[in-house]
Amino acid sequence: MRKIPVILTLSLTLLLLLGCRTSQRQQQDVKINGKGFGIDYAELLVMEELDHGRTLCRILDPWRTGRIMVQYLLVPKNDAGWNAEAEEAMTMKYGESVVVRTPLERMTITTSCHIWLLSQLDALGSVAILCDSVFINASNVKAWMRSRKPNGEAMVLDGGTSSKPNIEVLMAGNTDALWFSPFENATLGNLDRLPVPIVYCAEYMENSPLARAEWMKFYGRLVGRAQKADSLFAAVANRYEKLSKNAQNGKKILVDLPYGATWYVPGGCSNSAQLYADAGFVYPWADDKHSGSLSLSKEAVLAKAQDCDIWYIRYMDSQKDWTLDDFRRQNTFFDKFKAAQEGDVWGCNTAYSDFFDITSFRPDSLLESFIKGDGAFYRKITKSR
């Protein structure tokens, strides 16, 4: 396997919080000369079907316009014509690629959203090692984990955390790929010792919820579930578009909480900002041109969003759901905001919510929850009783 000069995150927390530079991406600069493939929303993913069931996939660099972060050549394991000569011919035609023999049968997965997607594609049997398993809250995945045999090949190994993976377990796991999420200016660290392809999961940097979700077409082809992935995405996109077409809200929205002295809010070109717009909300940073997070002071957020009508927060408390008193005790600064004063604050307790498991690839479910206020992910925080 050729080593890839690609940056890679070792911290899920930084992945969620790090501010990212704006990039205007143009797929026409990185076309592949093969049979057309239907990518309708994603801007960082280019896929082409080639002869013999092979697929060429390019992941565009979210932080460097016009550059390719990594190119994969998916080659079916039953491709009898694949040999050194065929690989050399493909390299001459398309450039250096990481060859991935599909379907993948033993994988290391490091994030809860991807393990949940695999559950929807009936591909959990291909998961051999799992990182950050303590943060998985989706009931169907937790039930699957409990069902695994305590010994033998069917057991899913604990790969440690995404911020500090157990390299010994990963080396001994005999997997054929590792899925991980890249971010700007990180290093590969010990993971470059692994003798397997790394699947770079950069969908979180897409500019819209459907663009992010469309990456399931790529992941489905990795595990031999192309048709199922295409059908699932078609259903998600159709439902999302219908919901957004009828969304009428008009409320000014504020999201999340400060992290120490810094308040990270989604950039105006992020998939989160697009979802707020599709739900009918007025987002204070909608005119911003960043696709990642903005690192702001509390004062800067107050100046922009003091008059917010509604406030959505995520917090982790394994003991209880917060009341308004609990929320206000976190920081007296919160009372300066209109939504806090009027008690229109909605909370998602990530200690048990399946928010991070589901919403990346089912943005239609999150959109519906925002529109209806049904409490599926966020519940209105009530006063103490």
Token representation of residue 77: 């394991």
Under 8 Å CB-to-CB from 270, ≥6 apart: which residues? Answer: 207, 290, 291, 292, 293
Q: Is 98 exposed, middle or buried (0-12, 13-18, 19+ CB in 10 A)?
A: buried
Kindly report which listed range (7-11, 34-38, 209-213, 301-305) carries the lowest average pLDDT score: 7-11
- Report the pLDDT value the prediction gives residue 243, as an integer from 0 to 100: 96
Higher pLDDT, 156 or 355: 355
Buried b / exposed e across 29-40, counting CB within 10 Å, b at 16+? eeebebeebebe
The mean per-residue pLDDT over the stretch 312-327 comes to: 96
The shares of helix, strand and coil residues in the chain, as percent rounded to the nearest 5, are 35, 20, 45
**Mean residue pLDDT across the chain:** 88
Per DSSP, the three-state class of 127 is strand
Q: Would you mind telling me the total number of residues written for the chain in this entry? A: 385
Closest CA to 181 of 11, 360, 358, 359: 11
- C-alpha 116/C-alpha 248 separation (Å) is 30
Domains of the chain in start order, with CATH, are 12-241 (3.40.50.1980), 247-380 (3.40.50.1980)
Residue 78 has pLDDT above 90, yes or no: yes
The mean per-residue pLDDT over the stretch 145-156 comes to: 69
Report the DSSP beta bridge partners of residue 68. 60
Neighbours of 114 (CB within 10 A): 25
**Are the beta carbons of 273 and 285 closer than 8 angstroms?**
yes
**Are the beta carbons of 223 and 118 closer than 8 angstroms?**
yes
Closest CA to 4 of 224, 211, 177, 220: 177
- Report the pLDDT value the prediction gives residue 5, as an integer from 0 to 100: 38
Alpha helices in the chain (DSSP H): 12-17, 84-94, 112-120, 139-147, 167-172, 209-213, 216-222, 226-245, 271-278, 298-305, 324-330, 338-342, 355-358, 363-372
Closest CA to 249 of 288, 284, 281, 292: 281
Neighbours of 258 (CB within 10 A): 17
- Report the pLDDT value the prediction gives residue 150, as an integer from 0 to 100: 58
Instruction: Sort strands 68-76 and 98-102 into parallel, antiparallel or unpaired.
Output: parallel
pLDDT tens-digit readout, 346-384? 999 999 999 999 999 999 999 999 999 999 999 999 986
Is the CA virtual torsion 251, 256, 257, 262 positive or negative?
Answer: negative
Q: What is the DSSP string of 74-116?
A: EEETT-TT-SHHHHHHHHHHH---EEEEES--SEEE--HHHHH
- C-alpha 365/C-alpha 237 separation (Å) is 11
Report the DSSP beta bridge partners of residue 35. 49
Angle between helices 139-147 and 112-120 (to 10 degrees): 80
- Reading across the β-sheet that carries 198-200, which strands appear in turn? 157-158, 127-130, 107-109, 177-180, 198-200
Buried b / exposed e across 185-198, counting CB within 10 Å, b at 16+? ebebeebeebebbb
pLDDT tens-digit readout, 248-268? 889 999 999 999 999 999 999
Give pTM, 2 decimals: 0.88
Instruction: Sort strands 345-349 and 379-380 into parallel, antiparallel or unpaired.
Output: antiparallel
- Report the pLDDT value the prediction gives residue 31, as an integer from 0 to 100: 54
pLDDT tens-digit readout, 160-198? 988 888 989 998 988 999 998 887 766 666 777 888 999
Closest CA to 304 of 332, 287, 284, 274: 284
pLDDT tens-digit readout, 2-38? 333 333 333 333 333 333 333 333 343 445 544 457 8
